[in-house]
């Protein structure tokens, strides 16, 4: 016997998630157009967790909530792509830092332009005032 499906409710979490997915899809599309096809793949999800001066792989594991093995595979894939490299951590003899290569830094520079482009599209869609209000409200919900 089939159980009746519980109806989905419209709620703020769904709206926030869906808006984030719309943003990510536009961002990814533009990054691929800019020549960074790997942005359309799961391995790109570690990019926001890598600081300009490098990040310990263990820190990426902690921030992403993935296993060490999963993060290892993502880093390996990006290393093969030439986007990141591992270098000795000057503060930890046994540790390694994940750092951007020149290719990775170029992608990061392109990402700034792409983010501005997508943000401009959102600003046009909402209007300058409503976009500003949304930006402030989102910051209030999730401060830095």
Asked if residues 140 and 134 have their Cβ atoms less than 8 Å apart, the reply is no
pLDDT in tens, 110-131: 999 999 999 999 999 999 999 9
Q: Is the confidence at residue 22, as pLDDT, over 70?
A: yes
H/E/C letters for each residue in 60-74?
HHHHHCCCHHHHHHH
Q: How many CA atoms within 13 Å lie on the side-chain side of 136?
A: 6
Give bridge partners of residue 100 from the DSSP assignment. 84
To the nearest whole number, what is the mean pLDDT of the chain? 94
Measured in Å, how far apart are the chain's first and last C-alpha atoms? 49
Residue 1 binned pLDDT confidence (cut-offs 50, 70, 90)? low
Q: Is the confidence at residue 7, as pLDDT, over 90?
A: no
Looking at residue 26, its pLDDT comes to 97
């Amino acid at each position: 016997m089939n159980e009746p499906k519980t109806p989905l409710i419209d709620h703020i979490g769904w709206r926030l998630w869906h808006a984030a997915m719309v943003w990510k899809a536009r961002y990814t599309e533009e990054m691929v157009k800019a020549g960074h096809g790997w942005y359309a793949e799961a391995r790109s999800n570690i990019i926001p967790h890598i600081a300009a001066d490098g990040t310990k792989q263990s820190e990426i594991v902690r921030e992403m909530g993935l296993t060490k093995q999963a993060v290892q595979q993502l880093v390996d894939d990006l290393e093969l792509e030439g986007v990141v490299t591992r270098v000795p951590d000057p503060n930890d003899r046994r540790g390694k830092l994940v750092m951007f290569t020149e290719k990775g830094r170029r992608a990061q520079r392109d990402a700034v332009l792409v983010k501005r482009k997508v943000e401009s599209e959102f600003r046009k869609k909402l209007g300058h005032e409503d976009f500003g209000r949304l930006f402030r409200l989102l910051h209030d919900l999730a401060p830095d």
